[in-house]
Amino acid sequence: MTKNYDYIIIGSGFGGAVSAYRLSQKGYKVLVIEKGKWYQAKDFAKTNWNLKKWLWIPFLRFFGIMKVSVFRHLLVLSGTGVGGGSLVYANTLPVPKTPFFNSGNWQHLADWENELKPFYKTALKMLGAAKNPQLFDGDFQLQQLAKKMGIEEKFEHTNVAVYFGEKGVTAKDPYFKGEGPDRSGCTFCGACMTGCKENAKNSLDKNYLYLAQKKGATILAEQEVYDVLPLDKKNGETGYQVFSKSSTRIFKKKHVFTTKGVVFSGGVLGTIKLLLKIKKKSLPNISSTLGENIRSNNETLISVSKLDKNSNVSKGVAIGCVLHTDENTHVETVRYGEGSGFWKIGHLPFTTGSNVFIRLFKMLVNFVKSPFSYVKIYFINSWSKSNIVLLFMQTVDSTLSLKRGLFGIMKSTVSSGKKPSPFIPASISLAKKYAQITEGKEMSFMLETLLGIPSTAHILGGAVMAEDASKGVINKNNEIFGYKNMYIIDGSMISANIGVNPSLTITAIAERAMSKIDENIF
């Protein structure tokens, strides 16, 4: 079937949700197309053992809120569903430090730090940002580490998108003067990343998308866009056709829409994959730099498992605190809610070494030295109650490229700098010190130990801002070079190493991009 819209937004994450609301506010007829499912609070998995509701693996008929993608140089965690990454992220909303605004392809396009200040303020308000009011076990140990290192002043509570009302008590919309949905006070159950069943997490379906619908926007879930074609076969001045098909049905129901404008907001793995697929045939004017300048925040994820069976680090918000160890580096404590122990089956003792054989030998030595400790970790203790993940990030820069390989499978290559590594000396040192304080054992994803492939939840870039098409894909207002009324507004637009959780920055840049679009006067 064919329907006409002023704007079609592909993806409902932080960029897509902002675009949907602001364009609807300006009087445009808006359609949001999202490949994931629409989850209400009651629908989320109770624990991450419920793989059908937690993981997105359509081949297995799993239609959950998190997708795991493995490349040669990275394992990437990303979000799916109406609300995108906001359903599965750990709520943190930091403003990046000054170097981010003055580096990368976008640095000469504007005075970004000052230009984005009012939009950060708006984004924080819309997302209901608040300081985490309460620390728990796991957080206290990081605070203890800060004292031990003599940098206690660098330890702080996180700014998070959570409603901290009366615990478990439903309240009328506390954010939008009654225009938004009712909310319930956070119970500190730790289950933010499996989907908040308590209605306390300020995910995008509770703010931007909710308000967009009230302004007339349509949200079409469980549909995946597979082509975008300019009506004039040239630069899209007369509009576009957008083709989609079911993402969850065995027999694919297809749709064809026409629209004056298109906003790509599917995140790096959605937007870049789609544009690389259709570039040659449908959108040949797109810059040849598409897929370049991919970044990962130079991060590591090292778990520390306590051996005390009576410990319980599952209480709190997903990330309740952060320690800034120097101007380029910080570490956060990350938790899952009680019962969410799925990651245990993919973890091995953390070891370092120049090749897999050395690492396996060291791992075997660890098992021999402390066999009962690992029996406790794998078979006796509750993983979520005894395990804290240390999320380490740096603003050190290196870039990757994503290209289409055989059968359309995406592959990564190193563009500049060193390839991403899970073996960062500063990260290893912090993990060892934290493990000593907690009397625990360091663990990591098996791909890190076996293949040296680091993990990230913050893949960015691939369609960066630049002066022209020879250096990037979009201009400073997020418009795609070579096409009219076509935008990219998601993590793929980020043009420098951000060094922190990017959700707030994506939201702020999206707010700025939308401010440049005139109101619909017709």
3-state secondary structure 433-461: HHHHHHCEEEEEEHHHHHHCCCEECCCEE
Q: Is the pLDDT of residue 1 over 80?
A: no
pLDDT band of residue 417 (cuts 50, 70, 90) is: confident
* Three-state secondary structure of 142-160: HHHHHHHHCCHHHEEECEE
Distances (CA, A) of 119 to 24, 259, 307, 371, 491: 18, 27, 45, 53, 16
In this structure, which long-range contacts are made by residues 173-179, counting pairs with CB atoms below 8 Å and at least 24 apart in sequence?
174/128, 175/125, 175/126, 175/128, 175/202, 175/207, 176/207, 176/211, 179/211, 179/214
Coil/strand/helix, residue 62: strand
Query: 437 and 444 in contact (C-beta within 8 Å)?
Result: no
Q: How far apart are CA 171 and CA 184, in angstroms?
A: 6
Q: Is the pLDDT of residue 397 over 70?
A: no
Q: How many helices (H) and strands (E) does the chain have?
A: 15, 27
Q: How far apart are CA 26 and CA 29, in angstroms?
A: 9
Q: Is the pLDDT of residue 461 over 90?
A: yes
pLDDT tens for 16-39 read 999 999 999 999 999 999 999 999
pLDDT tens for 215-235 read 999 999 999 999 999 999 999
Instruction: Give the pLDDT score at 396.
Output: 65
pLDDT tens for 462-505 read 999 999 999 999 999 999 999 999 999 999 999 998 989 999 99
Place of tokens 């081949």: 59
Residue 342: φ, ψ to 5°: -60, -40
Coil/strand/helix, residue 131: strand
User: What's the average model confidence in pLDDT over 187-203?
Assistant: 97
Q: How far apart are CA 513 and CA 507, in angstroms?
A: 10
Closest CA to 54 of 84, 80, 35: 80
In this structure, which long-range contacts are made by residues 425-433, counting pairs with CB atoms below 8 Å and at least 24 apart in sequence?
426/325, 426/329, 426/392, 426/394, 427/300, 427/302, 427/331, 427/390, 427/392, 428/302, 428/352, 430/145, 430/325, 430/331, 430/390, 430/392, 431/302, 431/304, 431/350, 431/390, 431/392, 433/145, 433/148, 433/149
Place of tokens 């809610």: 337
Q: How far apart are CA 53 and CA 34, in angstroms?
A: 16
Place of tokens 């004056």: 260
pLDDT band of residue 2 (cuts 50, 70, 90) is: low
Q: How far apart are CA 234 and CA 282, in angstroms?
A: 9
Q: How far apart are CA 87 and CA 38, in angstroms?
A: 10
Closest CA to 151 of 327, 335, 302, 395: 327
Query: 82 and 64 in contact (C-beta within 8 Å)?
Result: no
* Cα atoms found within 13 Å of the Cα of residue 27, Cβ hemisphere only: 6
Six token digits for residue 191: 């289950």
Instruction: Give the pLDDT score at 325.
Output: 92
Closest CA to 389 of 329, 420, 430, 352: 430
Round the CA-based radius of gyration of the chain to a whole number and report it: 22
Asked whether the CA dihedral 339, 340, 346, 351 is positive or negative, the reply is: negative
Instruction: Give the pLDDT score at 197.
Output: 96
Eight-class DSSP state of 215? T
Query: 202 and 328 in contact (C-beta within 8 Å)?
Result: no
Query: 463 and 266 in contact (C-beta within 8 Å)?
Result: no
Coil/strand/helix, residue 96: coil
pLDDT band of residue 449 (cuts 50, 70, 90) is: confident
Spot the catalytic one: 73, 330, 347, 458: 458
Query: 338 and 382 in contact (C-beta within 8 Å)?
Result: yes
* Amino acid symbol at 58: P
pLDDT band of residue 47 (cuts 50, 70, 90) is: very high
Domains and CATH numbers, the chain: 7-515 (3.50.50.60)
Query: What's the predicted TM-score (pTM) here?
Result: 0.96
Place of tokens 């795609």: 480
Q: What is the dihedral angle through the alpha carbons of 61, 66, 71, 73, rounded to the nearest 10 degrees? A: -160
Q: How many residues does the chain have?
A: 522
Query: Is residue 330 flagged as an active site residue?
Result: no
Q: Is 35 left (phi over 0), alpha (psi -120 to 50) or beta?
A: alpha
Six token digits for residue 324: 């800034």
Six token digits for residue 505: 């920055």
Give percent of the chain with pLDDT exceeding 70.
99
Concatenated DSSP letters for 290-359?
Answer: TTEEEE-TT-EEEEEEE--TT-----B-SEEEEEEEETTEEEEEE---TT--GGGGGEEE----SSHHHH
Q: Which helix (H) or strand (E) holds 52?
A: helix 51-54
